Structure 1
Amino acid sequence: MTGAPSRTSRVSQTIKQHTQRPSSRPGPTVSPLHVGDPDFATPEFITDALCAAVRSGLTHYAQPQGDPLLREALAADLSSRARRPYSDRQVIVTAGGSPAINSAILAVVDPGDRVLIPNPTYSLYADSTRLAGGVPEYLPPGRDGRIDLELLERRAPGARLVVLCQPGNPTGGVYTRGELEQIARTSAEHGLLVLSDEAYDHIVYHHATFVSALEIDALADRLIYCQTLSKTFAMTGWRIGYVAAPPDVAAAAGLIHRTYNGAVNSAVQRAALAAVTTPSTWPADRLADYERRRKIAVDALVDLPGVSFEEPDGAFYVFLRYPHALSSRQMAGHALAHGVGVRSGSEFGPAGEGFVRIAFCVEDAQLTTGLARLRTALTTDSPQELTP
């Protein structure tokens, strides 16, 4: 018996049609410049805290909204950074940064709601919007490559949410205080919520000035702040993050996360508590490593004919425009044929077509090998280009 497709099949088809994220990984012989996974081992004081938590018996269900001690510590940190009070009721501990984003978007976006997404940017924002039944609207950058604030003002009426990512994935860009204040004025005028994903906030290079959305007082009542420990402490596989928001949004995001993901691992939450409360130079030391790797990447690519990119202010990516007459996906395949993994720029929105992203969060020898292979790919024609 045939009939209209089920809701499940419609959602599945929609996500499959629109998502740009790859479903497989290159093999072990490929230089892995495609994955944003820091190669460093998690700091020992964090792994020690995990072991201690397990030995003490923290092996049972945690509270759905998160370990009270961790939520209190996160609320205290947020209050200090924002210079206004955050309560633990405003903090929901999630199973990584992606569930924080997904839970927040599903909590506030209804079917038909428009979500404004400056791009190129992380693909999950659009995927989560579609999953909620919302309509992602990509905002192309301005002529200078930065956010087009006039376009945001024109698109804002009737929209539900604007999503910011800084330091940016894939560009490594950061917003100025003036840009954030203008975004705050626009969102207040048109009733928009603002989601700010700041996963790379501890990876900002010394020439750049980073201003968190937490520091913008005019965003206080409409800010949804998403964070993860993955990048700062090389904890990608631990799956621990959080969302902080006005109490009603936090409660809704907590319900979504509890339903979709369940409570986060009890012992991992105590390890996260150690991460956010233990004084350490570890993030600063790793930033120095990333500074060195950033220079290796920039020096290897800056002289290539037809290749252009903005040097990143933060994160650990270079987003480069290539000279080949190939789509971004084809260019990623061309690079793979030369033994180096990169991400297709189209994964990050329409403005990413014609670009590829490389990650320089691998150890120096792998990075140097991968960049040499990428140089060869960027200076060699592909079979698609040679076919009449």
Structure 2
Amino acid sequence: MGEPDSNTPLPVVEAAVRALRAGRTRYSQITGSPDLRQEIASHLARFQGPGVEPANVVVTHGGSAGLAATVLSLLNPGDRVLLPEPTYSLYADHAAMAGAEVEWISTRPDGSIDLRKLAAAAPGARMLILCNPVNPTGMVFSKADIEGVGAILRAHPDLYLLSDEAYSDIIFDGIAFTSASELISVQDRVVLSGTFSKSYSMTGWRIGFICAAPAVAEKINLVHRTINGPLNTFVQDAAIEALRIPDKDLHALSAPFQHRRDLVMRHLDGLDAVSVVRPLGAFYAFPRIDSALSSVELVQRFADGGVLVRAGSEFGPSGEGHVRLSFATDEAALEEGLRRFTHVIKAL
């Protein structure tokens, strides 16, 4: 439900095969191969400028491991974590592992960050975690939103920002994506989490990265290496090839998602019991269902009707009454799923 339906690009697969045939099966450096860290640094420098170096980068066992290592390395029991929501459910789990306390900050009705609420909650908080584009809503935060977050960080010098940008290459309608890596004045407290899973259809390869100030990256690496050890060497060689895919080819990989988004919106907009904010990125929609049923009960009702969705309540308090749809599937399957979804809605 949360992975692209396309295959990993052939040049990436071939790079892994070449690496295996060349005997690239031994341990790599604990922070990741130097060549891959350099390639990631060069890739990120397009947003952040020439100051990104391999020392800023730790290669991780998928994006999730990087997120967990960041939270566990920077938080102590009792620390407060701010989660603008609805948002990816794993962040609250990571905070619980660290013994930290989650404070949910509801976003505005249009899905944008409520900067006033966030600023009011910031004093004494230790970490802010953003998902951008947002899983589950498909919201893409504006440049003004991200700059507003930067201003809050400048006002609170003990506050870290962990920005999960797993879907940053899946953006619709020609809008510009603003990365937290562009907040140059507070880069000592910004941790960017990235993954190869979504952009390059590499969910099963399990490779991601974090980018942070060198001293922060060292702390994150200490936790990551303790749990995971070094990553598969040949997978890192394949990731280098992925980063060398031309932008036009990368955009071609994500282009079908906009058409599928449009298909989903045409179906949902015609249902009186459904309201939804138009997704601007990722491959999810987060409709609210006008029903007396809870989100969990709605999930069961849809499952009985032959379509799988996630309960909105998984993604934060304001997700109650919503469900998450994924349109990361081929158009024929999506059409059939939407037909079944519509049938269930009309029977509520």
Q: What is the TM-score when the length of structure 2 is the normalising length? A: 0.97
- 2:281 counterpart of 1:304: no
TM-aligned CA deviation for residue 280 of structure 1: 5.5
SS at match of 1:196: strand
Alpha carbons of structure 1 residues 82 and 91: separation in structure 2 relative to 1, 3 Å: same
- Output the CA distance in 1 between the equivalents of 2:134 and 2:155: 25
Alpha carbons of structure 1 residues 89 and 207: separation in structure 2 relative to 1, 3 Å: closer
Alpha carbons of structure 1 residues 175 and 233: separation in structure 2 relative to 1, 3 Å: same
- 2:106 counterpart of 1:106: no
- Output the CA distance in 2 between the equivalents of 1:236 and 1:51: 18
User: Do the aligned partners of 2:305 and 2:344 also contact (CA within 8 Å) in 1?
Assistant: yes
SS at match of 1:243: strand
The residue that corresponds to 1:63 in the other structure is 29
- 2:63 counterpart of 1:94: no
- Output the CA distance in 1 between the equivalents of 2:186 and 2:176: 19
Letter in 2 for 1:279: P
Q: Aligned runs of 1:1-388 on 2, under 5 Å?
A: 35-191=1-157, 192-279=159-246, 281-381=248-348
Q: Which moved more, 1:89-98 or 1:74-83?
A: 74-83
SS at match of 2:287: strand
User: Do the aligned partners of 2:313 and 2:319 also contact (CA within 8 Å) in 1?
Assistant: yes
Letter in 1 for 2:213: P
User: Do the aligned partners of 2:62 and 2:208 also contact (CA within 8 Å) in 1?
Assistant: yes
Deviation digits for residues 243-287 of structure 1 (CA, Å, limit 9, x no counterpart): 011111101111111111221111000000110124363321122
SS at match of 1:220: helix
SS at match of 2:188: coil
SS at match of 1:103: helix
User: Do the aligned partners of 2:171 and 2:177 also contact (CA within 8 Å) in 1?
Assistant: yes
Letter in 1 for 2:203: T
- Output the CA distance in 1 between the equivalents of 2:51 and 2:174: 31
User: Do the aligned partners of 1:207 and 1:313 also contact (CA within 8 Å) in 2?
Assistant: no
SS at match of 2:138: coil
User: Do the aligned partners of 2:56 and 2:211 also contact (CA within 8 Å) in 1?
Assistant: yes
- Output the CA distance in 2 between the equivalents of 1:207 and 1:270: 31
TM-aligned CA deviation for residue 79 of structure 1: 2.1
TM-aligned CA deviation for residue 213 of structure 1: 1.1
The residue that corresponds to 1:26 in the other structure is none
- Output the CA distance in 2 between the equivalents of 1:150 and 1:229: 34
User: Do the aligned partners of 1:171 and 1:312 also contact (CA within 8 Å) in 2?
Assistant: yes
Q: What is the TM-score when the length of structure 1 is the normalising length? A: 0.87
- Output the CA distance in 2 between the equivalents of 1:313 and 1:280: 19
Letter in 2 for 1:119: E
Q: Which moved more, 1:265-274 or 1:133-142?
A: 133-142
TM-aligned CA deviation for residue 235 of structure 1: 0.4
TM-aligned CA deviation for residue 144 of structure 1: 4.2
TM-aligned CA deviation for residue 290 of structure 1: 0.9
TM-aligned CA deviation for residue 207 of structure 1: 4.2
Percent identity of paired positions between Structure 1 and Structure 2: 41
SS at match of 2:347: coil
- Output the CA distance in 1 between the equivalents of 2:113 and 2:245: 36
Number of aligned residues: 347
Deviation digits for residues 287-341 of structure 1 (CA, Å, limit 9, x no counterpart): 2211111111111111101200011010011100001211111101110000000
Deviation digits for residues 352-387 of structure 1 (CA, Å, limit 9, x no counterpart): 111000010101111111111111111112xxxxxx
User: Do the aligned partners of 1:312 and 1:318 also contact (CA within 8 Å) in 2?
Assistant: yes
- Output the CA distance in 2 between the equivalents of 1:148 and 1:90: 30
SS at match of 1:224: strand
- Structure number with larger C-alpha Rg: 1
- Output the CA distance in 2 between the equivalents of 1:262 and 1:200: 26
- Output the CA distance in 2 between the equivalents of 1:252 and 1:322: 43
Deviation digits for residues 85-119 of structure 1 (CA, Å, limit 9, x no counterpart): 11211100011111111111111011110000000
SS at match of 1:340: coil
TM-aligned CA deviation for residue 145 of structure 1: 3.5
- Output the CA distance in 1 between the equivalents of 2:345 and 2:232: 44
User: Do the aligned partners of 1:162 and 1:193 also contact (CA within 8 Å) in 2?
Assistant: yes
